[in-house]
Structure 1
């Protein structure tokens, strides 16, 4: 029995293909019960590697059943047929993914970016509070509903975290994700807390939201890691950003994992607390010194200094692991 016939018996009218990946495809359908369009992820277990079936698919299904948050894609139903096909019925991100949105509309204004990033960060807090790391945070995995609300999706590489006898998170030794969004410790193969690595990915996403550019060029990963470890972040002079927004990006893209923010610190950051009427540039918060193609930001409220290059990079879709 083909997919259309299987789904019709369940009350779904299959429509167009939304995307195809290595292990399955996603189609849209109309749900008679819900009276709305949904997304259906179809995985043929007969055509997928054993490692995926034994490790990643069970993790994804477990995460989808476990997570319930307004900014995480909703899962309505999961079922498997005798022929070995798994159907995951999910909320449809009718406005597509964040990367496509940015490519069409350009860089977000700070007020709008703040709202979207706050939604995303709250979704990550829900995951991390549940001892679950996403491990593949990127603009392509952030969907938007009809009102442009964030819906975090694709938990195929997510991992439930275990703790040792002292209550400390057991470090992850399995590495996955996209090079352009991955933290330097992941790219270097260093055992790490994947929740902390998620925070780096949030920094890449926020940067992309406000600049419509990627912060680092991953065409040469070794060179990129070197730049990241030096904490060199390019803040293009082509767009003005408040000191608070740059400060948050700076702390998210912190190469030292012991100094990187946790998700609660992210949500407490001043940029996410500032309303539209309270966004003046604060000379007391940072002194900006320009020297040719470089700018140095010296914080007086916190003990840091960072030199960034005033160069533009190109927004590119990355999908390599």
Structure 2
């Protein structure tokens, strides 16, 4: 079922909403009703979030290690669970997106689905405060995330949840990473209202929206969040707490975006080379219509991104 379902959505392109509805209906009818302990042995917890938790399990008969995401039925609507599962299943063919086993279950207390386990945790676990991660690893991440996001966008979807916690590691050097967690993914053009507080990854067009009908989403939202993530990888901290004018760090950034002058570059951006600053200035354009696509980052992966004790300055200045 996993391969045929994924192929169906992949072929749909911009018809993703219709195909997802069909996949939701099929999955709801074929949901396996069982208790976890009947078929799986729980080894340990891999992660826990606001809406559920992930366990490392092995299949009792085959011994296959798997990650089992469990969402409490008491706080999760069946449609919400099925939607996340079906979106993940439809995208799982990409090498930088988490692989799925095509198994969705319902127990007395939980909804759950199984996917490949990532035993090296997630990207947030290796970001050092005020330091980030090694530049080669940051570039490995960038290349793989661009590929994954472009794949999602080609299917008529906007991921909407780019952050280090959703990037799973399969080795400590980030040679192999995978995007996970598709609960917020929506078809392009879906009208979205800001329902939670503004966080660093929130694009300004959502932070400042007063439109009761919501803003039609597009891939520029992912470009913004991707830019914030890259900044975190290179510096070890957020560029701002909120993408609002009353945040002093964001206010400084807005000035630099307006002038483009070196003397207006915010102080905590000065570890970045001129190329890295240009890359982020494009991904983080305040006007979504002028924001560069995620793939624009690939133009800069062969140039230095971070100044280390002044050693990168000369290289950064070369044409």
Same fold (TM over 0.5): yes
Superposition TM-score, scaled by structure 2 size: 0.71
Equivalent residues in 2 for 1:154-165 (5 A)?
Answer: 154-161=181-188
Shift in Å, 1:274: 4.7
Could you list the runs of 5+ residues in structure 1 that have no partner in the other structure? 162-169, 286-321
Q: How many residues are aligned here?
A: 262
Counterpart Cα distance in 2 of 1:229 and 1:171: 27
Shift in Å, 1:25: 1.8
Tell me which of 172, 185, 205 is aligned to 2:191: 172
Counterpart Cα distance in 1 of 2:303 and 2:269: 23
SS in 2 for 1:199: helix
Structure 1 stretch 126-135 or stretch 184-193: which is displaced more?
184-193
Could you list the runs of 5+ residues in structure 2 that have no partner in the other structure? 1-33, 258-263, 306-311
Tell me which of 106, 109, 123 is aligned to 1:98: 123
Shift in Å, 1:284: 6.2
Report which of the two has the higher share of helix: 2
Corresponding position: 1:24 with 2:52: yes
Partner of 1:288: none
SS in 2 for 1:40: strand
Structure 1 stretch 136-145 or stretch 184-193: which is displaced more?
184-193
**Cα deviation code 1:54-91 (max 9, x no counterpart):** 3x333311211100211111111332236363221112
**Cα deviation code 1:6-61 (max 9, x no counterpart):** 33433x3212223333332211112467755322111232x0254xx43x333311
SS in 2 for 1:201: helix
**Cα deviation code 1:104-151 (max 9, x no counterpart):** 894223232111111111111111111111111111111111353221
Query: Does the Cα contact within 8 Å between 1:135 and 1:176 map onto a contact in 2?
Result: no
Alignment root-mean-square deviation, CA = 3.1
Shift in Å, 1:243: 2.2
Query: Does the Cα contact within 8 Å between 2:167 and 2:179 map onto a contact in 1?
Result: yes
Shift in Å, 1:160: 2.2
Query: Does the Cα contact within 8 Å between 2:226 and 2:294 map onto a contact in 1?
Result: no
Partner of 2:161: 136
Partner of 1:307: none
Superposition TM-score, scaled by structure 1 size: 0.71
Partner of 2:236: 212
